Amino acid sequence: MPSLERLLKESERIEPVPQVIHQLMDLVDDPEVPVSEITELILYEPLVTANLLKLANSAAFGFKKKIDSVHDAVVLLGLKRVVEMVLLNSVTKPLKSAHRGYGLEEGQLWKQSVSCALMASAIAETIAAPEKHIVFTAALLKDIGVLVLDRHMGDAMAMIRTVMADGSLNLVAAERQVLGLDHAHLGGRIAEKWNFSETLAGTIQNHHLTEEAIDISKQTAIVYMADSMCSMSGLNADLFCDHYAHYDRICEQLGLSEENANRIMSDFYSRKEDIYGLLAIL
């Protein structure tokens, strides 16, 4: 297995998140920013604009009125949803490929990443969490370390599966034992390399709660909860299904009732096919 430094160097082959995303994320929490400033920022990126309108008018988002401009998208959908759409489009290409080192067919990693992001967004809305865009982004990018580690798996994956089965370990613990590092830690370091905030990088790095921390940030707790709900709903590949060891504790921390958790999972499942249909148009 190459060193962490070598793996970070290899991460440069992944197309980074566009600069416009960073700029939008800086604006998303500022209520004083005029819509015109936001739309102008997006309009400077013709491909981003075209793909945003394609997404906004897709069945997945179910908006009845035709959206013909970036201005309409921002006004009718809200800046948070627009940022989510732009980000979703920008990461589709690397995520939708097959990742056979991890046993993932084409589109599988994209589906579980998008599922987690939308679940996390729904949780954040339900509990009125601040910085909702960080939660969506971290959930969407939580497995970017897989993109780099995948090509180096080879025979290591058989060993990882054996360790998971024999020691009742989850994926990241088994990766650490066999490889000396895990995809979540690597993902956090890649996020740092892409100049994401410390909060966002930390959420990606710690979303499996492998560190026995007493104080878990709300953003990390939400992504962990969303990932657990995806596993419970059968949306994650078997290898990525965690043991939900912290599920009850995190529910209590977030103030998320069982009724609301079940509603979020049910609502997502009812829209799943429309959402997965986005893969065909991105």
Q: What is the pLDDT of residues 158-176, one digit of tens each?
A: 999 999 988 788 899 999 9
Query: Across all residues in the chain, what is the average pLDDT?
Result: 86
Q: What is the pLDDT of residues 219-236, one digit of tens each?
A: 999 999 999 999 998 899
Residue 211 has pLDDT above 70, yes or no: no
Buried/exposed code over 166-201 (b: 16+ C-beta within 10 A; e: otherwise) = eeebbbbbbbbebbebbbbbbbbbbbbebebbeebb
Counting residues of the chain whose pLDDT is more than 90, the rounded percentage is 44
pLDDT-based confidence at 101, cuts 50/70/90?
very high
201 vs 195: CA distance, rounded Å? 9
pLDDT at 281: 64
120 vs 224: CA distance, rounded Å? 9
Nearest to 20 by CA among 43, 53, 51: 43
Residues 6+ apart with CB under 8 A from 42: 20, 24, 48, 49, 52, 70, 82, 86
How many residues does this entry show for the chain?
282
pLDDT at 262: 94
- pTM: predicted TM-score of the whole model, two decimal places: 0.86
pLDDT-based confidence at 215, cuts 50/70/90?
confident
